[in-house]
Amino acid sequence: MSQPSGSEPVAAATGGVRRARVVVIGAGAIGLAVALQLRRAGVDDVVVVDRNASPGMGSTSRANGGVRAQFTTPVNITFSQFTIEKLRELDRLTRNQVGFRAVGYLFLTGTDAGEIALRRSWELQRSLGVDVQWLSAPEVIQVAPFVKVDGLSAATFCADDGIIDPHGVVSALWAECRRLGTTFLLDTEVLHVAGGEPVCVRTTSGDIDTEFVVNAAGPFARELAAQAGVNLPVTSRRRNLACTEAVAGLPAAIPMCVDNDTGVLIRREGAGVLVGFSDPADPPSMDTAFDPAFLDAIAARVGNRFPFLEDVPISSRKCWAGLYPETSDHHAIIDAAPATPWFIHCAGFGGHGIMHSLAAGQAVTELITTGRCTTFDLHPLRLSRFAEPGSVVETAVL
């Protein structure tokens, strides 16, 4: 990915001590969105540090590209609504660099329990202003004629959900950050974060004195938090995606179709179809190599709603894997520990980090500029919840 032209040069390593108002660690979708919203709010001296040579080379580069408001908790729905709107704006601003395509998301279930759960989330989504339709089997066939509707109990469809290009999102966010004067320290690893007056971020390019540090290190957020003595319960799991060879007779644009009963989801990818499945039994892992066993897992499940794919070969060149940085309740953490109020953690977005990125950026910006967030209720994302009884779990985890 090349650097956008006509913008500030990326800051070179200096070896000396710099000063910044805010240091954002991580230049994935989350760190970039935090930096952008900070600059849009007029915060000067924002420095983004990443150990890679280019932004967006971590989990963000492995994403499927789905964006949807069909979640099951208010905070996740509102985070999606905010971010989707901002991504649409960015798409217009950058002449479609974001690659936004409103192909919709279709959720399908054939069980009574699945129908009850889908109805509950559909009612919540509608109460929050999401335009989600409850579809009968004939209506499903109109939207997605290739779906096997035998035994279908319920389906929901939101035409405003869709797909973006993760690399395009990174390019657009990066260009916009730099246009607004954000400094990037790339090829630079954060070695240590220490409190004090001022707070010091020790990096391979020298020390940075600062007021606030934002932990946007994705799968490495736990390790980074530990440098300041904070226990951040973010655990990564490997997730795989596989693309088929060309499929004839399928519309060029199809919705993201999710079989809630097996966990398999599909969407168009070029002339083929991309197939995803997140096995809840997968153990924690930092391995990003594609797992060949994934192909057996999808072969056993794909026929439930998408039998037209059963005999289509997978393209071995188009299979990949990456990490979901997850929490146990499938909600992110946006909070600082009481003893280190200058260290704001913005991590644990699992499989929805891109679609929640700009809302996360807005939330962190308000915490830094006013001490509290009024755009969103961040209570469900507080760090202390993991030590409290009971938890609200997001169940639309794909």
Looking at the Cβ atoms of 239 and 385, the one nearer to ligand FAD is 239
Maximum separation of any 2 CA atoms in the chain, in Å: 67
Q: How far is the CB of 138 from ligand FAD (least distance, A)?
A: 29
* Tokens 């989801």, residue located: 265
Looking at the Cβ atoms of 141 and 159, the one nearer to ligand FAD is 159
User: How far apart (Å, rounded) are the C-alpha atoms in residues 81 and 89?
Assistant: 13
Q: Any idea of the CA torsion for 187, 191, 195, 198, to the nearest 10 degrees? A: -40
User: How far apart (Å, rounded) are the C-alpha atoms in residues 33 and 49?
Assistant: 13
Q: Which two tokens stand for residue 8?
A: 């500030």
User: How far apart (Å, rounded) are the C-alpha atoms in residues 79 and 72?
Assistant: 12
Looking at the Cβ atoms of 110 and 168, the one nearer to ligand FAD is 168
3-state helix, strand, coil in the chain (%, to 5): 30, 25, 45
Catalog residues that contact ligand FAD under the rule CB under 6 A.
25-31, 49-52, 57-60, 62-66, 189-190, 216-220, 224, 239, 241, 322-325, 347, 349-355
How far is residue 397 from each of residues 47, 102, 279, measured CA to CA in Å?
33, 20, 10
CB neighbours (10 Å) of residue 173?
A: 32
Q: How far is the CB of 185 from ligand FAD (least distance, A)?
A: 9
Angle at 37 between CA 230 and CA 351, to 5 degrees: 60
Looking at the Cβ atoms of 110 and 325, the one nearer to ligand FAD is 325
Q: How far is the CB of 227 from ligand FAD (least distance, A)?
A: 8
The alpha carbon of 202 is separated from its chain's Cα centroid by a whole number of angstroms, namely: 27
Q: How far is the CB of 368 from ligand FAD (least distance, A)?
A: 18
Q: Which residues contact 127 (CB under 8 A, 6 or more apart)?
A: none
Q: How far is the CB of 249 from ligand FAD (least distance, A)?
A: 26
Looking at the Cβ atoms of 280 and 338, the one nearer to ligand FAD is 280
Identify whether 380 is preceded by a cis peptide bond (ω within 30 of 0).
no
Looking at the Cβ atoms of 50 and 261, the one nearer to ligand FAD is 50
Q: How far is the CB of 346 from ligand FAD (least distance, A)?
A: 8
Looking at the Cβ atoms of 152 and 257, the one nearer to ligand FAD is 257
Looking at the Cβ atoms of 320 and 386, the one nearer to ligand FAD is 320
Assess contact for 78 and 376: CB atoms under 8 A: yes
User: How far apart (Å, rounded) are the C-alpha atoms in residues 273 and 271?
Assistant: 7
- Reduced to 3 states (helix: H, G, I; strand: E, B; else coil), residue 277 is strand
Q: How far is the CB of 278 from ligand FAD (least distance, A)?
A: 8
Looking at the Cβ atoms of 17 and 113, the one nearer to ligand FAD is 17
Looking at the Cβ atoms of 149 and 398, the one nearer to ligand FAD is 398
The strands making up 154-158's β-sheet, listed across from edge to edge, are 132-135, 154-158, 105-109, 256-259, 264-269, 272-277, 235-244, 314-326
Q: How far is the CB of 175 from ligand FAD (least distance, A)?
A: 17
Q: How far is the CB of 22 from ligand FAD (least distance, A)?
A: 15
CB neighbours (10 Å) of residue 212?
A: 21
User: How far apart (Å, rounded) are the C-alpha atoms in residues 243 and 275?
Assistant: 6
Q: How far is the CB of 192 from ligand FAD (least distance, A)?
A: 9
Q: How far is the CB of 219 from ligand FAD (least distance, A)?
A: 6
Q: What is the DSSP letter of 154?
A: E
Looking at the Cβ atoms of 132 and 169, the one nearer to ligand FAD is 169
Phi, psi of 222 (to 5 degrees): -65, -45
